[in-house]
A and B are shown apart, each in its own frame.
Chain A
């Protein structure tokens, strides 16, 4: 359908639209108009991606600026789906008679795109990267061109021969399409995609490519300021930010990097003996400053600096690490220092500055050269023309630590622990360099791009994200879900049929009575729910122990009678197979239970819609491991810096994961499913209030404090009524709008706005102009739904 929001014509590739989608698009447009950032929470499974794409593409094509869309998602399947949506949308626009040229494409790792006959067989991304590097590094290609017998990659060579823009016509390319195109043209799809990024109108990739400075620097550097950046499924974005700037160093890491250092110096010796000019050239370049070197940096490099502030790039590399052998000696000293630090007996925590002070006292290493460590290392590897870069991974890590520790002071912390985990008895010391402030990694993005949209199905409470990511949101919105029939039923089971309260609280979680009651929930739901059931546990550890206990108690034997059981394992390939089989069992009608972990891989981005999940059970509340020192430090940081109370944050974090797991049960309003919260603590208001509005709105008083048998009775009734056919006619106008409904709504809204025009002036007198403006906006956007309810 085609409708207008203000003066913007929006092409929406369906005949009907959900009211949420319309409202979402309105807020989105508001955000883009204001060139500001937005936080938008939209119920899972109500077509968020398609709304987002159709509005932004309409926006992009309507205005002369043609702002580029950078759409970041979480997992490759989600990227794949977004690309397919985009392709569908563009086809729809074409069928509406629009004649436009749009280039859109996705990017993923070499591992997923490679066509090289032997390299593409590798399963690990790191190895694929390294092998690709061995075939495509400039010196390798030079040598090959000079006639040496060195293997190169024909796909890459083909790409080098032509101009990418000529090879690739404007269209939308899914990951498959780009691979197919590569096959057809015998060209490397990975580099093709990377080179097209600067030309594309729409780019879809993982948000690591934007947030992780190690990659972002390579890939996302040239994107224009005007671009619209969207982080979809962004509920976990703060953790990605933190992860990308944190690192752990253990003894094997240091051993490996010692070895690498020895290799480096050997290679330097070798070059010297050969009388190579390379080292001298490098030195001379460095004297002139790092900036020039960077300009000459080729895109083939896959080692990059974790984070180097721009101003540093203009400074010259300190003298003492300019010479290659000096730098290697320097690295060696630093590495040895770390080794001594790892010989700890007690847990110590310190700030980066105290770490640096101690370092200086012992080794006389200054801050400045440390800061350049990572950059200098990647430069050196290029000068030395090293292959097999994955061997250098450990050394890279050490260099990254040096750079990070010397660059940032606030928001980071160093923790040295003699034991890896609490129960361990064999010392296995670990040095954790932890980022505590999520805003550090994302800050450049908010500063650089004018519109950044953060969106997901679970962002409640909305004000948390602007706080912890430190930005100002122009629009903050959470949409309720309009339903003709209550197609999902959230219920809180607080006790077993024997009235013993259930909880994943640490003190009681291994209590046989609690474990048995959890098990009974699984058995009973296995009996009444058709097709698929997914059950989530708070952690791997707990899942493992509870499965062992259930097995001993004979609970699983009971559950096996009604359904097949599949379990998530830490190995992703193994889990993929289990998932695939799970879906086959659901399709076959046999039905299956999938046991998974709330923060694990399955909980991220796998949909359990329709028969793939008629019920999702959340056993316990997926709190983080609170004894972790890093987490404690982060909580302290949040309290001091953002005035977020520890408990608030922990609950927020646990519930966003719980909601994320449970939200995956729905897609579209004809789908239906049960959401079971199995923990006593969910009955409390402080927990429930942190659930997204659209789930909370359907938790009724009758379903908030149930025992297992009561829950089963309600579930039975629900499933029976849901199995009835749903008339589309009943939904129309309420939870499903036709074009007429949209137009009628717009008219009514316009009239209302005119009516309250007088109010505006009043407000202006009362609060001043800007505030009044905001209030009016709030009202206007709020009105959209008040009518909907």
Chain B
């Protein structure tokens, strides 16, 4: 029933889909075997466990729900034995350890350094490396991939917003993070929520999009780095050599060398500890073959010698059978190659790849590049699936490649025609300015034209003489420009007149007032009367306390300041005025009844 090297660490009697059975927790997976069954019908590898949920301690049923990374796959087990609670707690504890470990591994901070012992001689450095315990990481970030090239990324996207793991907590965190990032928002928050004008939830009610945006940003998964791994030892004092293996490095090694990944999956952690595995890796021929000057010094290592062999085999020649069905036909080179009889010629030496000694070394490297790049790409956007059905012919691709867009007249974007009921009046009002340029009575337009023509034709421009401009022209121009500018520029406002702290205060008072006004108008409907009343109170409070105190402070600085302050707060005060008037005109009885 179990794979080689698999041991059961915990188990419990549990019902799954109304069938009785036993839930096992092994060192590799969770498995559920129905009563009388020989093999597990449910098997979830440790890496595939996304999250677990348990029923509350007080609930009548003792259940455990395991959600996988595969979207929408979850299993619910109900523990039925007499000490169901105890059994569940054991398994729950084990699962949470795995999930926690994974978070640590995936978060960048969890670098585990492998302390090398000093090499016996200068000749074989880096011979040993031990995986020390994982140091405490910083705050766990969204996990990258589970382990190397584990399940597809689809499972991650859903984590957080819909993740069942305490939706409220997540939102609280998001709110906190938002406030920490945005100073203005946090000021407003202090003013309103801490000032007890509105409640915390009401504050965020109007800012749902901010929260959503933030959550989306947090959840966006950063693609895997494409960097080609260059493992360089750190040389410490006294000739010891240290290789640092972070989860990223392990991931990269496995991406680059699928044969290592296979070996890793096979041996770790049952037959070899992770540290032991990498220690042997650094001693192996596999690791040293790409380094020049290393010969047969390395000891034989059956795991890595086999991996090396596999790797060389894979990259030595082009794969025999490649399926080209799913690639874009416009880049399918084989159709051309097989389109006509091959020529009877062999290409000359420089174009005949893979023939010389150097190229025999380069070709495996090139293949490794292509495959590594493909794996990185697939880990980010998922593998390209062969499309099924007749759509695979993909005429669109060809169409896209031939149509030249700029030669096509862009279709006018559909505009809504402005519907003016009385067009005559509209155009008259638009043409109003024309009246001012009316030709005065008694002047023949033809004369004006004639004069103009005469002026124009008789005017001589002498281009070869310097053009002199009388001094006073500039003075006049300067004066005009200055006066125009003075007219155009608004009088100095609060930002220049008021001291910075007062100005800030005025701004936040203004923002708070507006916010409350928004809430006020949003609560005019009958079912929000209580809130409405509270808002009226707040508005009054703003008007009578905050604004007043600002005014007093400003007036102590002079009339200019007071004016500026008035100017700044005027729109808001008007708004408050209007709102209160509106509140007064509302039928009171309803309010009273509720209060």
Contact = CB atoms under 8 A, between A and B. Distances in A.
Interface in A123-158: 123-126, 128
A763 interface: no
Interface string A182-225: 00000000000000000000000010110010110000000000
B455 interface: no
Interface string B331-351: 111111111111111101111
A599 B404 contact: no
A540 B340 contact: no
A214 B331 contact: no
Interface in B318-342: 318-319, 321-322, 324, 327-342
A577 interface: yes
A544 B223 CA distance: 30
B356 A541 contact: yes
Given A569-B353, A576-B332, A581-B374, A214 B341 contact: yes
A701 interface: no
Interface stretch (B95-103, B111-119, B392-400, B460-468): B392-400
Given A16-B408, A544-B366, A547-B365, A109 B338 contact: yes
A577 B345 contact: no
Nearest to B404: A668
Contact of B333 (A15, A397, A576, A669): A576
Contacts of B428: none
A570 B353 contact: yes
B402 interface: yes
B201 interface: no
A548 B357 CA distance: 12
Contact of A14 (B348, B359, B408): B408
B359 A246 contact: no
B395 A557 contact: no
Interface in B391-437: 393, 395, 398-399, 401-410
Contacts of B230: 554, 557
A557 B343 contact: no
B317 to A, nearest CB: 8
B330 A539 contact: no
Contacts of A576: 322, 324, 327, 331-334
A135 B355 CA distance: 38
A736 B408 CA distance: 11
A556 B373 CA distance: 13
Interface stretch (B31-39, B136-144, B280-288, B375-383): B375-383
A557 B232 CA distance: 12
Contact of A16 (B338, B356, B407): B407
B345 A247 contact: yes
B10 interface: no
A409 interface: no
Contact of B374 (A551, A577, A625): A577
A560 interface: yes
Interface in A71-130: 74-77, 80-81, 84-85, 88, 108-109, 111-112, 123-126, 128
A15 B408 contact: yes
Contact of A77 (B321, B331, B353, B381): B331
Given A572-B333, A577-B327, A544 B226 contact: no
B238 interface: no
B405 A668 contact: yes
Contacts of B365: 547-548, 551
A18 to B, nearest CB: 7
A781 B402 CA distance: 28
A636 interface: no
B353 to A, nearest CB: 4
Contacts of B345: 243, 246-248
Interface in A726-781: 728, 731, 736
B395 A84 contact: yes
Contacts of A539: 350-351
A258 B393 CA distance: 45
Q: Which of B228, B350, B395 has the largest number of chain A CB atoms within 10 A? A: B350
A75 B401 CA distance: 15
Nearest to B335: A76
A601 interface: yes
Given A50-B402, A588-B377, A590-B226, A573 B322 contact: yes
Nearest to B332: A576
B405 A670 contact: yes
B150 interface: no
B369 interface: yes
Nearest to A628: B348
A727 to B, nearest CB: 11
Given A561-B226, A574-B319, A84 B402 contact: yes
A599 to B, nearest CB: 6
A209 B324 contact: no
Nearest to A77: B330
Contacts of A625: 348-351
B205 interface: no
Contacts of A566: 369-370, 373
Nearest to B361: A548
B227 interface: yes
Interface in B215-236: 223, 225-228, 230
Contacts of A18: 407
Nearest to A510: B358
A580 B337 contact: no
Interface in A376-402: 397, 400
A15 B335 contact: no
A259 to B, nearest CB: 19
B352 interface: yes
Contacts of A547: 362, 365-366
Given A247-B345, A584-B381, A567 B366 contact: yes
B331 A579 contact: yes
A318 interface: no
Nearest to B390: A180
Contact of A560 (B228, B319, B353, B377): B228
B367 interface: yes
Interface stretch (A308-316, A332-340, A349-357, A602-610): A602-610
A85 B334 contact: no
A501 interface: no
A85 B401 CA distance: 10
Contact of B407 (A15, A400, A581): A15
A248 B350 contact: no
A697 interface: no
Contacts of B398: 80-81, 84, 174
Contacts of B327: 576-577, 579-580
A208 B407 contact: no
B329 A77 contact: yes
A667 interface: yes
Given A422-B349, A564-B377, A607 B226 contact: no
Nearest to A540: B353
B354 interface: yes
Contacts of A631: 348
B350 A592 contact: no
A557 B373 contact: no
Interface in B50-94: none
22 contacts: A76-B332, A76-B339, A80-B329, A85-B402, A111-B335, A112-B339, A124-B338, A215-B340, A422-B349, A539-B350, A544-B353, A551-B365, A557-B228, A566-B373, A572-B334, A573-B333, A574-B322, A581-B373, A597-B351, A600-B351, A625-B349, A668-B404
A-B pairs, 8 with minimum CB distance: A247-B344, A125-B338, A571-B318, A560-B228, A540-B353, A14-B407, A544-B362, A539-B350
Given A126-B341, A541-B356, A567-B369, 5 more contacts: A77-B332, A246-B345, A540-B352, A572-B337, A573-B333
